[in-house]
Amino acid sequence: MPDAMGFFTDTTVCIGCKACEVACKEWNQLPAENGGIRELSGDSYDNTRRLDGIHWRHVRFIEQFKGPYDGRWLMMSDVCKHCVQAGCLEVCPTGAIIRTEFDTVVIQSDVCNGCRACIAACPFGVIDVNPVSGTAQKCTLCYDRLKVGLEPACSKACPTDSIQFGSIAELRARAQKRVDQLKAQGVDAHLYGADPTGPLGGLNSFYLLVDKDEVYGLPHKPQLPSRNLARSSSFSVASAAVLGILALVGLRKRRMDDMGGAGGRVGGGGPN
């Protein structure tokens, strides 16, 4: 069994070149949006804007400017987190979403029927429908490349090693070293998703961030969709029981009224 593999993304060295986005699109033969006619976002140099069924990598530009000379750019190459406890895998009704031998999460496009339950289940908004296939799609962590010993296309293309690929144990050690180094320089850095005892059992694609999680578009405490299952089901059963009792009490009352009104004679036909 191979080691669990994944990505460590050090956002402090991302330069926003989007080489990872291009490499991902090229390797996975993802179609262009809007027939290749790019619509500009109008309020950012980032025109991809988000992850979806045809953008499995997205370099997020976070433009924090208080004035013309007072600001900073934060950049983060975002991707599927390949959660150790994956919400998408949990709800998928066709078995299309599987965990691979590399501990990554992959959607089998030939099994998926496009019900879109995984889209609503993902706490990170990673998955969407690919309009060409009609199925839900996302990063596969280049499963086809991993099978033949190759590195994923995005990390291979990253010119600054902001995206690092490797075994999770090794990446976590490297990430902690980098956090310590930045803290020694006075930078308030922290890791997101590196803790195996944290939310979702840790993420196999984790990040080094220098601002709040939400600033990067990441939920502070992502959760599994099944957290609501037991309570929601029991409330529904209770509501069904109440309605059933009300219906039966209503029938009994009608029968009692019949008996009272007719001096003991049952009206309106015999018992069913």
Residues 211-270 within binding reach of other proteins (CB under 8 A)? 214-223, 225-226, 228-229, 231-233, 235-240, 242-244, 246-248, 250-251, 254, 268-270
Cβ distance to other proteins smaller for residue 169 or 243: 243
* Residues within window 16-55 making contact with other proteins, judged by CB under 8 A: 43-44, 49-50, 52
* Angstrom distance (rounded) from CA 86 to CA 107: 12
What is the smallest separation between the CB atom of 183 and other proteins, expressed in angstroms?
A: 25
What is the smallest separation between the CB atom of 173 and other proteins, expressed in angstroms?
A: 28
Cβ distance to other proteins smaller for residue 169 or 238: 238
What is the smallest separation between the CB atom of 199 and other proteins, expressed in angstroms?
A: 9
State how far Cα 188 lies from the chain centre.
Answer: 26
Contact by Cβ (8 Å): 108, 114? no
Cβ distance to other proteins smaller for residue 64 or 160: 64
* Residues within window 67-96 making contact with other proteins, judged by CB under 8 A: 87, 90-96
Q: Residues near 96 by Cβ (< 8 Å), separated by ≥ 6?
A: 107, 108, 109, 111, 112, 113, 135, 136
Instruction: Please give the C-alpha separations between residue 119 and each of 47, 65, 170, 245, in angstroms, as whole numbers.
Output: 22, 32, 31, 38
* Residues within window 98-127 making contact with other proteins, judged by CB under 8 A: 108, 110-117, 119-127
* Residues within window 172-191 making contact with other proteins, judged by CB under 8 A: none
The residue among 94, 80, 70, 120 whose CA lies nearest residue 225 is 120
- Strand (E) or helix (H) holding 21: helix 19-27
Cβ distance to other proteins smaller for residue 10 or 52: 52
* Residues within window 132-151 making contact with other proteins, judged by CB under 8 A: 133-136
In 99-167, which ranges are continuous DSSP H helix? Answer: 117-121, 143-147, 153-157
What is the smallest separation between the CB atom of 95 and other proteins, expressed in angstroms?
A: 6
Contact by Cβ (8 Å): 5, 151? no
| HSE (side-chain half, CA atoms, 13 Å) at 239 | 6
Using alpha carbons only, what angle is made at residue 83 by residues 218 and 10, rounded to the nearest 5 degrees? 55
CA trace torsion 127, 129, 131, 135 (10° rounding): 120
Cβ distance to other proteins smaller for residue 174 or 252: 252
What is the smallest separation between the CB atom of 135 and other proteins, expressed in angstroms?
A: 6
Q: Looking at 8-16, 21-29, 130-138, 154-162, which segment touches other proteins (CB under 8 A)?
A: 130-138
What is the smallest separation between the CB atom of 58 and other proteins, expressed in angstroms?
A: 10
* Angstrom distance (rounded) from CA 43 to CA 49: 10
* Angstrom distance (rounded) from CA 200 to CA 12: 25
Cβ distance to other proteins smaller for residue 35 or 269: 269
Nearest-Å Rg of the Cα atoms of the chain is 26
Q: Looking at 140-148, 154-162, 174-182, 209-217, which segment touches other proteins (CB under 8 A)?
A: 209-217
What is the smallest separation between the CB atom of 156 and other proteins, expressed in angstroms?
A: 27
What is the smallest separation between the CB atom of 265 and other proteins, expressed in angstroms?
A: 13
